[in-house]
Amino acid sequence: MRRDPLTFLASELDTLRQQGLYRPLRVLQTAQAARISCDGQSVVNLSSNNYLGLTTHPRLRAMAVEALDRYGVGSGSVRTIAGTMEIHMELERRLAAFKQTEAVVVFQSGFTANAGTVSSILTKGDVVISDELNHASIIDGCRLSRAEIKVFPHRDVDAARAIVCGLPADQRKLIISDGVFSMDGDLGALPALCALAEEFGGIMMVDDAHASGVFGRNGRGTIDHFQLHGRVDIQVGTLSKAMGALGGYVAGNRALIDFLHHRARPFLFSTSHPPSVAATCIAAIDVLEQEPTLIDRLWENTTFFKSGLQALGFDTGLSQSPITPVIVGEASLAARLSDRLFAEGVFAQSIGFPTVPHGKARVRTIVTATHTREELQFALETFGRVGRELGIID
């Protein structure tokens, strides 16, 4: 009989189990919402990126159904062959107007937008100057590009400057940061990094996945929040989080977008969005423009919940956004906290190495615009009770 050549994977999984780091997938039986049924249990959901509750918004649902009826379920091709429909073009026009840039190209996800862009605009001999906590999709894009990768400590612009000063003046440089860091919820040092890019003729790129729909006027992102229009060459956003559906996009000048049409591998080699998803995303832009009160509610809930966790004595790090980590240190303790919270009716996932550094394991919480005060109060009471039980707070 043939010996299974994959047994080494099973032993790696056993190691994870022994370390208390094995996490089975949790499965939702309901739509993604503030309260869900998950693994058969009704829980207050603090684990989604559904910041504005748009996954179930009536306007998005209606536009999706209309597009489904009109265009069918799939696009049937990659964008460059037969997979570009008028509705894809309309979404890109709407996004460009919303972001106040010349043009936009939509990718299948925020991940492919980052990885596809960095890997196509840079090549061997170029250099990337990257914040150490940038998203995995940026890191993968950097590796694929074969450019030299120089990492600076988180938000340390002096260190980034020291790196840039040591580089040849004529070497092509990309300075890149998340707008909102996904595990800590703090903001990138964008104004200072823009100044650095301008001083040394570098390309400035921001991944605004967690800022889209959350920061800036009507959710235009951190570039709008910091008033950096015209100073960031490449803006990446996602349609998969606050926008409620799926996808990523790159906003910039016409030449950048035309170049990506010709060179970005996910654009060239992977099928485009189903038309219903494109229609859903257009509806999400309508909602951002017409219902900014949803964003106000998100921030009210964020302030209430974050200050509640802090008053209980939890370490919430340096968060400046609706992403509020509850940092506990050891990964096994974070996993126990998450499991106990779940048993008590609150879903907040634990995050450990390699997603966050060793010793910085946490339970990550994200409130949404659609959580009620009662749900958030219940979650705070549960955090307090379980946190005391596990000796995390007094």
Ligand X SMILES: Cc1ncc(COP(=O)(O)O)c(C=O)c1O
Catalytic residues: 182, 210, 241
Which residue lies nearer to ligand X by CB, 92 or 207?
Answer: 207
Q: For ligand X, which is the closer residue by CB, 247 or 387?
A: 247
Nearer Cβ to ligand X (241/336): 241
What residues between 26 and 45 interact with ligand X by CB under 6 A?
A: none
> 79, 154, 210, 273: which one contacts ligand X (CB under 6 A)?
210
Q: Binding of ligand X at residue 119 (CB under 6 A)?
A: no
Under the criterion CB under 6 A, does residue 178 sit at the interface with ligand X?
yes
What are the φ and ψ backbone dihedral angles of 28, each rounded to 5 degrees?
A: -90, 135
Query: Across-strand partners of 281?
Result: none
Among 184, 186, 207, 375, binds ligand X (CB under 6 A): 207
Query: Nearer to ligand X by C-beta: 109 or 145?
Result: 109
Asked whether position 370 contacts ligand X by CB under 6 A, the answer is no
Amino acid of residue 209? A
Interaction of residue 248 with ligand X, rule CB under 6 A: yes
Least distance (Å) between residue 136 CB and ligand X: 8
Binding flag, residue 98, ligand X (CB under 6 A)? no
Cis peptide preceding 354, ω within 30 of 0? yes
The piece of 20-28, 107-115, 318-326, 355-363 that touches ligand X (CB under 6 A) is 107-115
Stretch that binds ligand X, among 26-34, 104-112, 212-220, 347-355 (CB under 6 A): 104-112
209 binds ligand X per the rule CB under 6 A: yes
| 111 in contact with ligand X (CB under 6 A) | yes
Residue in the shown chain whose Cβ atom is closest to ligand X: 110
Residue 88 is a binding residue for ligand X (CB under 6 A):
no
Question: Which residues in this chain contact ligand X in the complex, by CB under 6 A?
Answer: 109-111, 114, 135, 137, 178, 182, 207, 209-210, 238, 240, 248
